[in-house]
Structure 1
Amino acid sequence: LDVTEVALSKVTDEFMAHIRAMGPDWDLDQTTEFLVVAATLLDLKAARLLPAAEVEDEGDLALLEARDLLFARLLQYRAYKQIADIFNARVDEEARRYPRTVGLEPEHAELLPEVVISIGAEGFARLAVKAMQPRPEPRVYVDHIHAPLVSVQEQAAVVVTRLRELGEASFRVLVADTDDTLTVVARFLALLELYREKAVALEQEAALGELLVRWTGGDGAAVPMVTDEFDRPPEQPGPEEETKP
């Protein structure tokens, strides 16, 4: 918060109205704390508004630094008081709970479960061998990654057809028939591919403004080449790549 933007007069008026509303029950400690903070803020604001120049008196600079530190300590003191109030509330709440001091009944304390070992020496040996075998190294599988649901090549054909009909259109118009995010992204990627092939021209007067697309690919029947880079599924890693950490 820029201290020069703090309206101390407004804060003071609201605080005085708060004190008057409390009547004879106003808190002296609260008022004193406000005066200290207000005086510190006033001094800081005055120092910030003065023209920047070389400090002639090092004592004044040290005083300002000391008051900055005082303000930081006041905020820290306020945080400590809030935490102390939370602790006191927790202590009061927990003080109303009493632990159970009696033990188990004799008939329950003397009950012991019957130990049944259903495995012999050979079984223990097999368990030991299994426990001491080295664990396989973790692998990251990509079988759950599916191919894209929307084809960039197909959306490029749709964009080309519309641009040939309209001549030029905004990107908003080119995606007006769909509210699917994947389709919108696919058509944008198709525009980038067409721009790289010099089949369209893109104009945008302002940052984040309306994107105007103009067809420059001629009237030929052939659709400009759009690669299937975005339509190919991710390559499966080889055995050596799977074992890498």
Structure 2
Amino acid sequence: MAQPAAGAAARPDADAAGGLEQLGTDSRRDSTGFTVSLTNFDGPFDLLLGLIAKREMDVTAVALAAVTDEFIGYVRGLSHHQALDESSNFILIAATLLDLKAAQLLPGGEVESQEDVAALEARDLLFARLLQYRAFKHIAGHIAEQIQAHSDRLPRQPGTHPELAQLLPELVFKTTPEDLKTIAERAFARPAMEPDHIRFEHLHSHTVDIRAEMAVMTALLREAGAASFTELIRESESRLVVVVRFLGLLELYRDRDVEFEQDAPLGELRVLWSGPASGEIAALDRAAAEWAEPESGQSPRPAPETEDADHG
């Protein structure tokens, strides 16, 4: 296994030690009275943290399995709320100890192979998850006890009380069968809505003149010679104008007034002017006639289906 530089190994070791020292300070401020009895240490758990933080005791010599067993026995004698608080703090401290221990066992604290993972698991690497599991199991038991203790407070559906039923007012139905007949006749006698009663003005806020939009693009292309489609729609105030200008380009392409270039699929579309440099453009008048809005009561005029033989 490759060995990292000494500086890389010292950084996770120092970070874990700094975090552990902060945890030790917080634990001493809120001392709990938890003591441990190991082969190489016997005393308060807060003192053990202080010795490890000051590097007066090697963290690799601390058997976290034994510490965990003693802590579980300790919290069993506490109340529910105290046990939850103590367990939360101990899980954080144990995770920090494992971080510091891994940093010392493997330089850099990095796992580079499956053998490293097996070695760390053999050195109590999974005890933090075990503590979390036991904490959640303890919390689940506490919740179950609370549900059982308050099970008699569930709402009860009351039955029918005859003395209360007599207080209800008698229901008086004043609508006669003749009234229902009159209402039904009035509903079915409504005149059918005529087609001319339906208004379509609200479907479009405004119309766009395709001839005017084609004239704008024609002037721009005649002056510049070529432009991208993005440049042609840059001043469009709505999506409808963009659609109309695209249709106008197709009408110009139909008369070979413009040519299209595209370097790649879905790439930027470039439009080149190939029509006359001045004068009228026949495509403008034809598009204006084909795309004209139909008069009221007339069907829309379909676009001609003829195609240019050279473009087909």
TM-score in terms of structure 2 length: 0.40
Q: Which has the higher contact order (CA 8 A, sep 6+)?
A: 1
Higher CA-based Rg: 2
